[in-house]
């Protein structure tokens, strides 16, 4: 960045002949085995008509959480997945966690890769999971011509400050990992695996490992330091969807996860907020609900979510071509 911070991202490449080279593991990293069956792979499309895809993770996660999607979508178009500021291998400065700053990080990565009008390049499709959806909306609202389509994956339409209260310190406290989960890498991985053993695989383990670092004593600590978490939570609580979503005039995909538990009291509020939010965007909107899946839709329904993103890429590519 022009302020000196470094933003880390994974470049998954794209189809042969597309900018970024042939499909493969993220550039500079050892190739990971790709054991997908033919039916798991995204449908082949004309990649020249599709915009690039930029993926943004949620609070506490890293770019690796998008691996089940990136593996499939890279057959269609160039795919990047970012570590948001303060997360993963990106810089964790004391400041710069306001939504405009986080949006500018994303826009800078896009421009550095030759995308968006500022670089005389094509606009991209932004997909954000959880808080990543908030950052995606902020980036699209800041530079509308740089974004051809937007995907909000179980987040990005809610005014979290109204529900969680306006005290970032309390939210940070609620997000703290239980001490027993941090006893060792083995306990950390075991807890993540327990969320849904059927979907636990090498990709999920790598994503879980990327969230923490192991100390000399064998314990693990989150890579997301407290000051960065506090700054990110403050940005989340400041988000006002009714101010930014009306500036979105591109195709919009909203993927909604089911409730976490049968007595989840937030479900009615989320539905009401979603109904209100969907009145705001100016472009076409598609809403898909996965009632039996949890928040991490990339883990629980990767094939289904990939198919929806492929559809959004096709619609956005057609819209971008028409605009051009």
| DSSP reduced 3-state for 101 | helix
| Residue 62, C-beta contacts closer than 8 angstroms, at least 6 positions apart | 83, 87, 88, 89, 207, 210, 211, 223
More confidently predicted of 29 and 105 = 105
Is 9-163+225-323 a CATH 3.40.30.10 domain? no
Q: How far apart are CA 84 and CA 102, in angstroms?
A: 7
Nearest to 61 by CA among 233, 224, 175, 256: 224
Q: How far is CA 39 from CA 74, 302, 314, in A?
A: 15, 12, 19
pTM of the model: 0.89
Averaged over 154-176, what is the pLDDT?
84
Rounded to the nearest angstrom, the gap between the alpha carbon of residue 146 and the centroid of all alpha carbons in its chain is 17
Half-sphere exposure of 224 (CA within 13 A, CB side): 25
More confidently predicted of 227 and 47 = 227
Judged against a pLDDT cut of 80, whether residue 299 lies above it is answered with yes
197 burial (CB, 10 Å; 0-12 / 13-18 / 19+) is exposed
Residues 302-306: contacts with CB under 8 Å, at least 24 apart:
302/40, 302/68, 302/69, 302/72, 303/39, 303/40, 303/72, 305/69, 305/153, 305/255, 306/42, 306/69, 306/72, 306/73
How confident is the model at residue 29, as a pLDDT? 36
Instruction: Name the strand (E) or helix (H) holding 161.
Output: helix 160-164
The size of the chain, in residues, is 324
Q: How far apart are CA 179 and CA 215, in angstroms?
A: 14
Judged against a pLDDT cut of 60, whether residue 321 lies above it is answered with no
**8 Å CB contact between 218 and 208:** no
Average pLDDT of the chain is 87
- Render pLDDT for 65-95 as a digit per residue (tens, 0 to 9): 999 999 999 999 999 999 999 999 999 999 9
Report the range of poorest mean pLDDT among 26-40, 127-141, 171-185, 199-213: 26-40
- Render pLDDT for 113-142 as a digit per residue (tens, 0 to 9): 999 877 678 999 999 999 999 999 999 999
Q: How many CB atoms lie within 10 A of CB 60?
A: 18
Averaged over 180-185, what is the pLDDT?
94
- Render pLDDT for 221-278 as a digit per residue (tens, 0 to 9): 999 999 999 999 999 999 999 999 999 999 999 999 986 555 566 677 788 888 888 8
Q: How far apart are CA 200 and CA 299, in angstroms?
A: 8
Q: How far apart are CA 115 and CA 45, in angstroms?
A: 20
Which sequence spans correspond to the domains of the chain? 9-163+225-323
Report the range of poorest mean pLDDT among 40-54, 137-151, 211-225: 40-54
In degrees and rounded to multiples of 5, residue 133 shows phi and psi of -65, -35
Question: CA torsion 188→69→163→104, rounded to 10°?
Answer: 100
């Amino acid at each position: 960045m022009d302020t000196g911070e470094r933003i880390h991202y994974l470049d998954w490449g794209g189809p042969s002949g597309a900018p970024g080279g042939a499909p493969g593991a993220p550039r500079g990293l050892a190739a990971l085995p790709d054991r997908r069956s033919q039916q798991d792979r995204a449908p082949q499309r004309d990649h020249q008509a599709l915009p690039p895809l930029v993926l943004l993770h949620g609070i506490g996660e890293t770019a690796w959480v998008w691996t089940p999607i990136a593996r499939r979508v890279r057959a269609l178009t160039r795919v990047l997945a970012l570590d948001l500021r303060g997360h993963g291998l990106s810089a964790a400065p004391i400041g710069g966690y306001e939504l405009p700053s986080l949006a500018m990080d994303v826009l800078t990565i896009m421009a550095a890769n030759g995308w968006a009008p500022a670089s005389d390049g094509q606009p991209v499709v932004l997909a954000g999971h959880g808080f990543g959806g908030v950052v995606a909306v902020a980036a699209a609202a800041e530079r509308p011509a740089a974004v051809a389509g937007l995907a909000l994956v179980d987040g990005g339409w809610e005014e979290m400050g109204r529900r969680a209260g306006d005290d970032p310190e309390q939210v940070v406290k609620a997000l703290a990992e239980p001490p027993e989960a941090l006893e060792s890498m083995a306990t950390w991985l075991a807890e993540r695996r327990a969320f849904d053993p059927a979907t636990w695989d090498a990709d999920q383990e790598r994503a879980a490992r990327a969230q923490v670092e192991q100390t000399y004593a064998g314990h693990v600590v989150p890579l997301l330091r407290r000051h960065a978490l506090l700054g990110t939570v403050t940005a989340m609580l400041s988000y006002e969807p009714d101010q930014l979503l009306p500036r979105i005039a591109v195709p919009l995909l909203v993927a909604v996860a089911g409730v976490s538990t049968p007595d989840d009291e937030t479900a009615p509020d989320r539905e009401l907020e979603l109904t209100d939010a969907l009145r705001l965007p100016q472009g076409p909107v598609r809403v898909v609900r996965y009632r039996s899946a949890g928040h991490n839709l990339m883990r629980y329904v990767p094939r289904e979510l990939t198919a929806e993103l492929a559809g959004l890429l096709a619609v956005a590519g057609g819209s971008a071509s028409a605009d051009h």
